[in-house]
Amino acid sequence: MPPSLHPSRWPRRWPLWIALGFILRLYFIWSPRTIDDDTWDYLELGRNLLHHWVYGLGSGDDLAPSLFRLPAYPIILAIFNQLFGSLPHSGWLVALYLFQSAIDIVGCLLLAAFAYRFISPRAGEIALALAVLCPFTAAEAGTAMTECLSIFAVSLGIYAAGRILSAQAAGLHIVDTRAMILAGCASALAMLLRPDGALLSVALAAGIFFYILRGRANQGLRLALRRSLTTTSIYCAVALAPLAVWTLRNWVTFRVFQPLAPRYLGDPGDRANVGVYRWIRTWSVEYTSTAVVFWQVGVGPIDPDDLPARAFDSPAQRAQTLALLDEYNHTISVSADLDHRFGALAAERIHAHPIRYYVALPLARIADMMFRPRTEEFELEVFWWSFSDHPAQTIWAILLGIINLLYIAAAAWAFIRRRVPWPWMLGGYIVLRCLLLGTMENSEPRYSLECFPIFIVAAAAALGGQKACSVLRKKGCASPVSSNA
């Protein structure tokens, strides 16, 4: 039997790992780090909803409804600010970080319970150790951004989906109703935190449908199809119910069908710099380009020397690009006409090199977001490789890069060796997320953090000493690992 989440049933060493995990998160909470500007936007949205029943930015006569961001995290911030706002020195943020640390540890326990049950007891302890000591996810507990709760939502979804599938495999009429509700709540939370949370819903729905259908194929196609459709429909209903409220609000307020948040965060009638962003996608790869170009659009000047050589296909195109940037730098704004000309330049570059735009650059951005040292969580220099300027930060960045690589390498080895339970569902989420990351012009390693719950489970499978399929056969469950996977 898997370990209960009740402390009295934990294996002997689990409390030690949990204590170490809390110590690591307390270190990040008390380490001085810059608060992201998005945090104050989230707080303003939540406070306006809490005090004025208007989900929007601004105050007084300028307060108007908005589609800017999804509502879950603004509401959480506003509640903590309301409850603990009287504490000195931004004590409400410390209360929030402690809450997030507790939630993050619970997510670690969920991953450990999943690995314990569906891989091996040893893999369960390894998963717990890898989860609580992962510096990248632990650092997010001390940041007032959505990543910590988004990572928890993925962990809860993995755990609940495993329970659903194992219950279905155990018998004809066994349904784990609690697990279906948990899986639905995990997906709803993910979608109400970030638009890319919808990827979790898609991966879990497809995985639940596919594995139940395959596991019951010997009972007849009609029965298998009916059971898989029924279970998947119940899960989807729970997942989409909270999102329906947000979608209805957007329809009533703006007369638009907007179940998530717009990609470029604009309200109906607002103009986004689509041409500029498309032009950036024709050459952007590194996080450094995000820092010195993407974040500067509409905020500050863009230095032409910060553009890489691949931003120009010819001397004439270089002159054209520099002329556009010079026009932008004079006003630090993007007019509709300037945006159109950037878009025309992007179209010219895409037409000339479609494989570069649609294949090579997306793959490079994915690799950058997956493997670059995660300096943004640790207040390290963006140009971390300049050893002569900051040797200590360079060493730390290299160490973090090695740790990150080890997590991913161990996970990849487990998938290759067919040690990961339900690989098409868990691996499918990673594939979907990578496809999305490839379409983004702003390469930021934090966008790949939601993959770490799966990396952790897979790495535990690699180090756990037993193939998942053999353990599940001993437990009387249908194997979740495809023989051809």
Compute the Cα dihedral for 464, 468, 474, 476 and give only its sign.
positive
pLDDT of residue 482: 39
State how far the Cα of 215 lies from the Cα of 168, in Å rounded to an integer. Answer: 8
The whole-number average pLDDT for the span 1-9 is 54
State how far the Cα of 154 lies from the Cα of 4, in Å rounded to an integer. Answer: 20
What length is written for the chain? 485
The whole-number average pLDDT for the span 328-351 is 95
DSSP state of 479: P
Compute the Cα dihedral for 176, 181, 185, 188 and give only its sign.
positive
pLDDT at 171 over 70: no
- When pLDDT is cut at 50, 70 and 90, the band that residue 8 belongs to is low
The pTM for the full model equals: 0.91
State how far the Cα of 99 lies from the Cα of 291, in Å rounded to an integer. Answer: 30
The whole-number average pLDDT for the span 49-58 is 92
* 357-402: pLDDT as tens digits: 999 999 999 999 999 988 888 888 888 888 888 899 999 999 999 9
pLDDT at 456 over 80: yes
pLDDT of residue 468: 52
State how far the Cα of 377 lies from the Cα of 140, in Å rounded to an integer. Answer: 7
* 111-162: pLDDT as tens digits: 999 999 999 999 999 999 999 999 999 999 999 999 999 999 999 999 999 9
pLDDT of residue 473: 46
pLDDT of residue 13: 85
- When pLDDT is cut at 50, 70 and 90, the band that residue 6 belongs to is low
* 402-425: pLDDT as tens digits: 999 999 999 999 999 999 999 999
pLDDT at 298 over 80: yes
Among 85, 69, 435, 79, residue whose Cα is nearest residue 260:
69
* 246-278: pLDDT as tens digits: 999 999 999 999 998 888 867 887 888 999 999
State how far the Cα of 481 lies from the Cα of 485, in Å rounded to an integer. Answer: 7
pLDDT of residue 241: 94
pLDDT at 173 over 80: no
- When pLDDT is cut at 50, 70 and 90, the band that residue 176 belongs to is confident
pLDDT of residue 442: 92
More confident residue, 50 or 476: 50
Tokens of 16: 């030690």
- When pLDDT is cut at 50, 70 and 90, the band that residue 78 belongs to is very high
* 213-248: pLDDT as tens digits: 887 766 677 777 888 898 899 999 999 999 999 999
State how far the Cα of 214 lies from the Cα of 236, in Å rounded to an integer. Answer: 19
Between the alpha carbon of residue 380 and those of residues 116, 167, 389, 397, the distances in Å are 36, 46, 12, 7
Q: In the predicted model, what is the mean pLDDT of the chain? A: 89
The answer to whether the beta carbons of residues 105 and 18 sit under 8 Å apart is yes
Spatial CB neighbours of 227, under 8 Å, sequence gap ≥ 6: 168, 212, 216
- When pLDDT is cut at 50, 70 and 90, the band that residue 329 belongs to is very high
Give the rounded percent of residues in the chain with a pLDDT score beyond 90.
Answer: 73
The whole-number average pLDDT for the span 44-60 is 92
pLDDT of residue 172: 52
The answer to whether the beta carbons of residues 80 and 90 sit under 8 Å apart is no
Query: What are the domain boundaries of the chain?
Result: 274-367
The answer to whether the beta carbons of residues 67 and 177 sit under 8 Å apart is no
- When pLDDT is cut at 50, 70 and 90, the band that residue 471 belongs to is very low
pLDDT of residue 174: 63
pLDDT of residue 333: 92
